[in-house]
């Protein structure tokens, strides 16, 4: 019923929990005092004793004082409870955030984005009850029956013993449902994250779903998922309700037993009226803390199930970190017999051998799905579990620190992410301390400067995913950002896909200029873009089938020459058509 690992993780909250238990215990002691003086007064009045107004005044004064003090302690207990949960939430979210940073760019290979969102938002919130209510109540419910027993044993020992013995029946009933509850809650959380996965995916692809009018089908799938979630939620609620009913039976049954004993003893004349009244008023107090613990238990169990997911995330093996001296990029980059499969069954890249010397301009071409982007992702260290070796100089990529790799290599894809911030903030991602002059210089290079001068310059705001820029402008901005990063190696993965010819030509010019001073790997399906590459690897179905300079390949009789001729014929036809249209 206590998750030691969880408590160890967020030890700072223990201080506030102890304070909360202390305040609750003082409130109980005050309650016993209040009941003692009131029952004394009642017993005296009922027995017809003559009480002085001073004595009555003392009793009333004590009662008022006790009530005020209890209220004050209640406020203090609530504050401690709030602080305990605040400390937990802050610590856990910070740990999750740091873990995500340490996992690096390949985090989504190990854990889905929606799971991270759910675990760090909802999951951590679920733990709030565990720390702010359940844990303090757990300790208090151990302390309270012992305190009550000590107070009552001198007044009515028989009832005190019976009540004390009945209290453990509640935790026994909780323990009985625990194994079943744990399994059920684990399923509940599994279903919850699965529903979240679908929801996030559909939300992200909503425009596409609308375009193809496929939203109805997705809605149906979501409905089915939601229905499964509803069913498991109802099972959880039924389990909780049944368990609470059992606890109520034990709690109120036990209290009734204590009260029965007190009445019987009073009837037999073995105890005083005050002792009987005290037993009656304190009987329920024996069980109430455990009963409250029982109801917190179910919410806490939910938090504990969430904590399993939080730990799965926090305990993922992280990148080696720590301050280390900046090392220069070791060259050359070599792929030696590299094979990789995403699912362990279908080999996507097989026996890849590539050599990228420092300062070289290398291109990879090949049909869609042949494994070009996978090769780039392997180089970026985003995919684990490959066979063979990817070496940076003498060093194998697996031992390279993520931070170094990201400093060495910049990748620009056809979907580089632009934030809905200003142009300045987007550029600053690549270099924190960059000044305006350097930003304008790269913007000139990618020929965005004139356009931006007509807008708000570096303060021009981008809408979500840069939707107020054209495809070509977005890509040129992404390229400007990459240039600012100033890394020794650049990967351009279909960086000119789906953009206008003018932007494509311009981007290719920038890439070719860059290739004079940096090591560049260009992945493209358009062979006209690789004419100036030092070496070209032609891939087919995950393997390299040809390799050479453009002249060597185009004069050969392999697939490259055939594809080149086909693409040229198509482009010439396009140009002729365009020319005719202009003439006519
Ligand atoms: N994350 C992934 N999980 C499983 N399979 C994947 C994943 N990414 C790619 N694949 C598969 O690996 C194969 C190679 O994909 P890759 O993206 O490397 O091809 P590509 O040559 O870059 O294609 P394109 O030119 O269309 O971008 C494809 O068959 C694809 O289905």
Q: What pLDDT, in 10s, does the model give residues 381-434?
A: 888 889 999 999 999 998 888 788 888 999 999 888 888 889 998 998 888 889
SS (H, E, C) 127-191: HHHHHHHHHHHHHHHHHHHHHHHHHHHCCCHHHHHHHHHHCCHHHHHHHHHHHHHHHHHHHHHHH
Question: What's the DSSP call for residue 419?
Answer: -
476 within ligand 1 shell (Cβ under 6 A): no
Which residue among 372, 376, 385 is best mutated to probe the pocket of ligand 1, counting the most ligand atoms within 8 A of its Cβ? 372
Taking only the tens place, the pLDDT of each residue in 105-135 is 667 667 777 778 888 888 888 888 888 888 8
CA separation for the pair 480, 467 (Å, rounded): 18
Q: From the CB of 524, is ligand 1 less than 6 Å away?
A: no
Instruction: Please work out whether the CB of residue 119 comes within 6 Å of at least one atom of ligand 1.
Output: no
Q: How far does CA 376 lie from the centroid of its chain?
A: 27
Residue written as tokens 């690549």? 430
Predicted ipTM?
A: 0.95
- 274 CB under 6 A from ligand 1? no
Q: Cα-flanking dihedrals φ and ψ of residue 553, to 5°?
A: -70, -40
Whole-number Å distance, alpha carbon 24 to ligand 1 midpoint, is: 60
User: What spacing in Å lies between the alpha carbon of 342 and ligand 1's midpoint?
Assistant: 9
Among 104, 577, 127, CA closest to 382: 104
Q: Are strands 395-396 and 535-540 parallel, antiparallel or unpaired?
A: unpaired
C-beta 342 within 6 A of ligand 1: yes
Q: Please tell me if the CB atom of residue 517 comes closer than 6 angstroms to any atom of ligand 1.
A: no
- Helices vs. strands in the chain: H and E counts, helices first: 21, 10
SS3 267: helix
d(CA 468, CA 573): 34
Helix axes 135-153, 13-46, angle to 10 degrees: 30
State the 10-residue block means of pLDDT for the chain, 584 residues long.
73 87 95 92 85 85 93 94 87 85 70 79 83 89 92 89 88 80 85 85 81 81 92 91 86 90 90 90 88 81 78 73 64 95 92 95 93 94 90 90 86 86 89 91 94 94 87 93 93 88 91 95 92 95 94 91 86 75 72
Distance between CA atoms of 348 and 536, rounded to whole angstroms?
20
Name the percent of the chain lying above pLDDT 70. Answer: 97
């Amino acid at each position: 019923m206590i998750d030691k690992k969880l408590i160890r993780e967020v030890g700072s909250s223990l201080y506030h929990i102890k304070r909360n238990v202390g305040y609750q215990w003082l409130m109980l002691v005050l309650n016993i005092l209040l009941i003692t003086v009131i029952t004394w007064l009642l017993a005296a009045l009922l027995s017809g004793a003559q009480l002085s107004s001073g004595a009555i005044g003392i009793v009333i004064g004590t009662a008022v004082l006790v009530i005020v003090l209890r209220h004050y302690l209640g406020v203090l207990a609530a504050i401690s409870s709030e602080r305990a949960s605040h400390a937990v939430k802050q610590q856990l979210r910070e740990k999750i955030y740091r873990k995500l940073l340490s996992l690096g760019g390949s985090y989504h290979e190990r854990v889905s984005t929606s799971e991270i969102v759910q675990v760090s938002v909802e999951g951590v919130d679920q733990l709030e009850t565990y720390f702010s209510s359940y844990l303090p109540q757990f300790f208090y419910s151990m302390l309270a029956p012992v305190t009550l027993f000590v107070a009552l044993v001198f007044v009515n020992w028989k009832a005190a013993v019976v009540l004390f013995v009945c209290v453990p029946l509640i935790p026994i009933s909780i323990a009985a449902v625990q194994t079943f509850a744990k399994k059920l809650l684990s399923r509940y959380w599994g279903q919850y994250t699965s529903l979240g996965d679908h929801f996030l995916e559909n939300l992200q692809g909503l425009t596409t779903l609308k375009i193809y009018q496929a939203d109805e089908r997705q809605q149906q799938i979501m409905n089915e998922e939601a229905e499964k979630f509803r069913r498991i939620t109802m099972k959880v609620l039924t389990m909780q309700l049944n368990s609470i009913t059992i606890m109520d039976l034990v709690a109120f049954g036990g209290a009734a037993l204590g009260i029965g004993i007190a009445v019987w003893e009073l009837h037999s004349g073995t105890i005083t009226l005050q002792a009987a009244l005290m037993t009656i008023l304190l009987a329920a107090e024996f069980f109430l803390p455990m009963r409250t613990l029982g109801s917190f238990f179910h919410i806490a169990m939910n938090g504990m199930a969430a904590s399993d997911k939080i730990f799965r995330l926090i305990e993922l093996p992280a990148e080696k970190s720590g301050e280390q001296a900046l090392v220069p990029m070791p060259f050359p980059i070599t792929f030696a017999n590299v094979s990789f499969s995403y699912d362990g069954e279908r080999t996507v890249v097989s026996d890849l051998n590539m050599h990228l010397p420092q300062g070289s301009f290398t291109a990879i071409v090949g049909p869609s799905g042949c494994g070009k982007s996978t090769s780039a992702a392997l180089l970026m260290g985003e995919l684990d579990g490959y066979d063979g070796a990817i070496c940076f100089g003498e060093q194998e990529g697996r031992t390279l620190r993520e931070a170094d790799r990201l400093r060495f290599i910049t990748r620009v894809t056809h979907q580089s992410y632009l934030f809905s911030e200003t142009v300045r903030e987007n550029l600053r991602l690549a270099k924190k301390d960059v000044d305006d002059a350097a930003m304008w210089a790269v913007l000139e290079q990618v020929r965005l400067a004139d356009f931006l001068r007509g807008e708000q310059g570096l303060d021009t705001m981008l809408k979500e995913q840069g939707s107020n820029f054209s495809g070509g402008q977005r890509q040129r901005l992404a390229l400007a950002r990459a240039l600012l990063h100033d890394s020794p190696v650049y990967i351009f993965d279909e960086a000119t896909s789906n953009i206008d010819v003018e932007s494509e030509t311009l981007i290719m010019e920038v890439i070719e200029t860059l290739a004079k001073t940096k090591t560049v790997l260009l992945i493209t399906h358009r062979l006209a873009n690789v004419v100036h590459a030092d070496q070209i690897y032609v891939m087919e179905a995950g393997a390299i089938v040809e390799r050479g300079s453009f002249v060597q390949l185009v004069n050969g009789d392999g697939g490259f020459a055939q594809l080149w001729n086909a693409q040229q014929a198509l482009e010439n036809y396009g140009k002729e058509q365009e020319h005719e249209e202009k003439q006519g």
